[in-house]
């Protein structure tokens, strides 16, 4: 399944899942490099903040969902948390050097029992999922009562000047960087994929309705990224 061209409609359902899997298989070898360059290494601090917000004790079992090359898993492991890396892309899991257990699975259908995990993280993948309510429901199923979830994602700044500048950078500069260092088609698609994300308040309400009533959203770095956190009740 090829990545849709600039003017093609964004894929949905199973077509989207196939396209996303193929895209991440293709960009896995240089994914970390492109992330560092295009975010000026801000993604490192965002991931650190994500794990900070879990607030879980040492030894807690934390699922790193849509884990990619395992950046969050490495951060979790460094905090003495028992991370499990879960991704749909074989290419990404092969590139994972976190040293934690790796599982090839669809994060909408996790091979886990109810309440198996103490927490979960997800980095920059919400917009790539087929169905967000189903993902939040699966989080509520596998995370125990009292467990914590932290979800990191890109965002669009509220400030009009920031929004304008970010639109130029993310929509036009990032695809050029991606084309130089990795796969141009993939990095033209990624900025377009922000259209899959609902309004921030709608996103928070989805999260709360799934069983995380204290769910909250924090804008990061002027609103170019966002962090959703919640406690399973």
Q: Is the pLDDT of residue 4 over 90?
A: no
The answer to whether position 100 is within a domain reads yes
The answer to whether position 86 is within a domain reads yes
What's the pTM value of the predicted model, to 2 decimals? 0.93
For position 174, what pLDDT does the model report?
94
The answer to whether position 208 is within a domain reads yes
**In this structure, are residues 17 and 130 in contact, taking their beta carbons and an 8 Å threshold?**
yes
Question: Nearest to residue 232, comparing CAs of 149, 164, 108, 110?
Answer: 149
The answer to whether position 87 is within a domain reads yes
pLDDT tens sequence across 104-154: 999 999 999 999 999 999 999 999 999 999 999 999 999 999 999 999 999
Tokens of 218: 């924090």
Q: Which domain holds residue 18?
A: 13-231
Tokens of 172: 């036009």
**In this structure, are residues 203 and 132 in contact, taking their beta carbons and an 8 Å threshold?**
yes
Question: Nearest to residue 125, comparing CAs of 71, 183, 174?
Answer: 71
DSSP 100: S
Q: What H or E segment, with its residue span, contains residue 111?
A: none
- The number of distinct structural domains making up the chain is 1
The answer to whether position 6 is within a domain reads no
Q: What H or E segment, with its residue span, contains residue 109?
A: none
The answer to whether position 8 is within a domain reads no
Between CA 115 and CA 164 the distance in angstroms is: 43
Q: What is the CATH number of the domain that holds 81?
A: 3.40.50.150
The answer to whether position 1 is within a domain reads no
The answer to whether position 212 is within a domain reads yes
For position 90, what pLDDT does the model report?
97
């Amino acid at each position: 399944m090829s990545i849709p061209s600039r003017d093609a409609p964004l894929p949905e359902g199973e077509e989207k899942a196939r396209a996303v899997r193929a895209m991440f298989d293709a960009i896995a070898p240089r994914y970390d490099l492109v992330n560092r360059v295009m975010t000026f290494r801000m993604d490192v601090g965002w991931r650190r903040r994500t794990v900070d917000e879990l607030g879980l004790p040492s030894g807690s079992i934390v699922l790193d969902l849509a884990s990619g090359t395992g950046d969050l898993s490495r951060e979790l492991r460094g905090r003495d948390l028992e991370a499990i890396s879960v991704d749909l892309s074989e290419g990404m899991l092969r590139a994972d050097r976190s040293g934690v257990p790796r599982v090839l699975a669809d994060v909408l259908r996790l091979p886990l029992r109810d309440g198996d995990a103490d927490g979960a993280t997800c980095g920059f993948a919400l917009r790539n999922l087929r169905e967000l309510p189903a993902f939040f429901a699966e989080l509520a199923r596998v995370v125990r009562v009292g467990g914590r979830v932290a979800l990191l994602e890109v965002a669009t700044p509220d400030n009009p000047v920031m929004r304008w500048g970010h639109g130029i950078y993310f929509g036009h500069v990032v695809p050029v960087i991606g084309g130089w260092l990795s796969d141009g088609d993939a990095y033209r698609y990624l900025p377009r994929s922000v259209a899959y994300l609902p309004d921030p308040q709608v996103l928070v309400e989805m999260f709360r309705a799934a069983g995380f009533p204290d769910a909250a959203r924090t804008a990061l770095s002027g609103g170019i990224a966002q962090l959703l956190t919640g406690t399973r009740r």
